């Protein structure tokens, strides 16, 4: 994938009909799942077609309304994709309170990625105090929340991240017990040191060689919430697991999940995440690209780890 696979297309701002609202998008969320939508083949969601607008979560402001449910100035969470304006009947639009919380947090720690961490960890991981939780892509939007939630549950939180700067942040700022830099080599030995009692939960964000290194270190009856495998989204030759036998040896439960299929858990997750965030116990950081024209570069960079925290694109000022 390269930037030339993307094209900016200009068109008129749509006319608003009865019952509709026009939203000016302020922030666009860039997420790894978008790469999957660019492939044909079996998946949990339909692939985009060439020339479709790229999908994506957005935060925007209502600039024109012919709907009784929204007024000009309302801030809304929507799914307008990679575009500056969106037209909607209101279904699927969620009003966001303009309180003390930064708006972009609703695309990150208080939005889909934070909820993903909560759902995967609690529903599949079922953490218990004293257990060891390992999470890959630990400084990222999902991983950073996983480790902090694991600490709240009384677990040992061990991150895996690319580079010393990210690892220092994960330990010093986010409060993980340890973080292993997979780019520094000796991942197996360093993971053994960071998780000396073995691994009870592997919150899997990356897949490939990192998952393969984790597998033999799993404790009996370990759980793997399979959230994603970002290391494999943009490669021609998929990585073949060598330590598949660990699933039987350690009687491991592995379950893939898609956060959008667990809407029943969102209210509880969002409430707990908001409480933790407002009390200062849930920290996060963002990488913000400026302007829609820079979205492809930021997206491709994110799939190589060039982001540091939740990747967003700022589209306009409020």
Nearer to ligand NDP, 61 or 303 (CB): 303
Nearer to ligand NDP, 155 or 179 (CB): 179
DSSP 3-state of 184: helix
Q: How far is the CB of 298 from ligand NDP (least distance, A)?
A: 11
Nearer to ligand NDP, 70 or 229 (CB): 229
Nearer to ligand NDP, 24 or 310 (CB): 310
What H or E segment, with its residue span, contains residue 212?
helix 208-214
Report the interface residues with ligand NDP, using CB under 6 A: 31-33, 113, 116, 137, 139-143, 161-162, 166, 205-206, 210, 227-231, 257-259, 302-305, 307, 310-311
Taking a C-beta distance cutoff of 8 angstroms, is the pair 297, 289 a contact?
yes
What H or E segment, with its residue span, contains residue 159?
strand 156-161
Nearer to ligand NDP, 187 or 195 (CB): 187
List 254's β-bridge partners, or say none: 224
Nearest to 313 by CA among 22, 9, 30: 30
CA distances from 146 to 102, 189, 204 (A): 21, 23, 10
- Cβ partners under 8 Å of residue 127, min gap 6: 121, 133, 150, 153, 155, 200, 201
Considering only CA atoms, give the Rg of the chain: 20
Give the Cα separation of 202 and 124 in Å (integer).
10
Nearest to 288 by CA among 37, 80, 77, 26: 26
Q: How far is the CB of 269 from ligand NDP (least distance, A)?
A: 12
Q: How far is the CB of 206 from ligand NDP (least distance, A)?
A: 4
Q: How many CA atoms, within 13 angstroms, populate the side-chain half-sphere of residue 229? A: 17
List 213's β-bridge partners, or say none: none
Nearer to ligand NDP, 22 or 296 (CB): 296
Nearer to ligand NDP, 22 or 259 (CB): 259
Q: How far is the CB of 23 from ligand NDP (least distance, A)?
A: 23
Q: How far is the CB of 254 from ligand NDP (least distance, A)?
A: 13
Locate tokens 């309302």: which residue?
Answer: 74
DSSP conformational letter for 204? B
Give the Cα separation of 62 and 66 in Å (integer).
11
Nearer to ligand NDP, 98 or 255 (CB): 255
Q: How far is the CB of 17 from ligand NDP (least distance, A)?
A: 33
List 153's β-bridge partners, or say none: none
Q: How far is the CB of 198 from ligand NDP (least distance, A)?
A: 22
Q: How far is the CB of 286 from ligand NDP (least distance, A)?
A: 10
């Amino acid at each position: 994938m390269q930037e030339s696979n993307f094209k900016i297309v200009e068109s008129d701002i749509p006319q608003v009909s009865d019952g509709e609202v026009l939203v000016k998008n302020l922030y666009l969320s860039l997420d790894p799942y978008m790469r999957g939508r660019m492939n044909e083949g079996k998946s949990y969601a339909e692939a985009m077609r060439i020339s479709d607008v790229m999908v994506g979560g957005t935060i925007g402001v209502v600039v024109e309304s012919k709907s009784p449910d929204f007024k000009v100035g309302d801030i809304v969470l929507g799914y307008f994709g990679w575009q500056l304006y969106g037209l909607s009947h209101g279904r699927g639009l969620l009003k966001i309170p303009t309180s003390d919380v930064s708006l972009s947090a609703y695309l990150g720690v208080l939005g889909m990625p934070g909820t993903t961490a909560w759902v995967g960890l609690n529903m599949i991981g079922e953490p218990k105090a004293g257990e060891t939780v390992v999470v890959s892509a630990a400084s990222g939007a999902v991983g950073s929340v996983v480790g902090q939630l694991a600490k709240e549950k009384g677990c040992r939180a061990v991150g895996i991240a690319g580079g010393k700067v990210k690892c220092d942040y994960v330990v010093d700022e986010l409060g993980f017990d340890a973080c292993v830099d997979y780019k520094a080599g000796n991942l197996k030995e360093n993971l053994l040191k960071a998780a000396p009692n073995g691994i009870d939960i592997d919150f899997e964000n990356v897949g490939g060689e990192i998952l393969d290194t984790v597998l033999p270190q799993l404790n009996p009856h370990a759980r793997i919430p399979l959230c994603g495998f970002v290391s494999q989204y943009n490669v021609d030759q998929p990585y073949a697991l060598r330590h598949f036998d660990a699933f039987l040896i350690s009687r491991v439960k592995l379950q893939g999940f898609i956060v959008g299929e667990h809407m029943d858990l969102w209210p509880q997750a969002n409430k707990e995440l908001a409480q933790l965030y407002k009390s200062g116990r849930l920290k996060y950081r963002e990488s913000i690209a400026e302007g829609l024209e820079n979205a492809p570069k930021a997206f491709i960079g994110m799939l190589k780890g060039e982001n540091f925290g939740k990747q967003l694109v700022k589209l306009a000022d409020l």
